Chains A and B, each alone.
Chain A
Amino acid sequence: SQQGEEDPQALSIQEGENATMNCSYKTSINNLQWYRQNSGRGLVHLILIRSNEREKHSGRLRVTLDTSKKSSSLLITASRAADTASYFCATEETSGSRLTFGEGTQLTVNP
């Protein structure tokens, strides 16, 4: 089964609004990462947060991690039409080097 589960599965917002996506996981992790996938393309790494970190920022992205609840959220502020894509969380478990990806959130930003 998938380690990470994103919520919601799909999100549609207007340009300029903020978008929040959530991810839950089941086991102990070394880190949690968020990736973006544009239609027909490969995944692109956005941001990584380590298990001993609680919040991280990168440009318009803000990631939080709550290891007690085994959950993370990705906030995209002041969204743009170009942010339209699928967003995946991925966890690196403490047991190894592999990443386990969630099922993704499809974000649509309407101009």
Chain B
Amino acid sequence: DAGVIQSPRHEVTEMGQEVTLRCKPISGHDYLFWYRQTMMRGLELLIYFNNNVPIDDSGMPEDRFSAKMPNASFSTLKIQPSEPRDSAVYFCASSMTGSYNEQFFGPGTRLTVL
């Protein structure tokens, strides 16, 4: 298996622009997680899905952030409009029911908002 795939790996954009991050989980995994990592706040859970349904989005910072999972093999995290404080590394991870929530992480997307 190729593991969790994220794109793009790097994104540089200007304040006010829309940003879309993409994730393909490991085939057969029914949980998908979006995290944000910064030096100041560490690794924060933004939202997670089970069987494509959002279960907990309490970590989504504001209405500018939205996430979707239209099918079992694809998820997006959108920021609109983006702000400089959104600059961070965004990780997608997936896991499988019955695995004690052992999570497999993608390589991350480094987002820089100028």
Name A's B-contacting residues (CB within 8 A).
2, 30-31, 33, 35, 41-45, 48, 50, 88, 90, 92, 96-104
- The 11 listed contacts between A and B (C-beta, < 8 Å) are A33-B101, A33-B102, A41-B108, A42-B4, A43-B91, A45-B104, A48-B100, A97-B50, A99-B33, A99-B101, A101-B43
Task: Tell me whether chain A's interface is mostly helix, strand or loop, or mixed.
Answer: strand
Within 8 A of A (CB), among B55-114: 55-56, 91, 93, 100-108
A-B contact count (CB 8 A): 54
Please determine whether B103 and A100 come into contact, CB atoms closer than 8 angstroms. Answer: no
Among A42, A99, A100, residue most surrounded by chain B Cβ atoms (within 10 Å): A42
7 nearest A-B residue pairs (beta carbon)? A42-B105, A101-B43, A43-B105, A103-B42, A92-B101, A42-B107, A45-B102
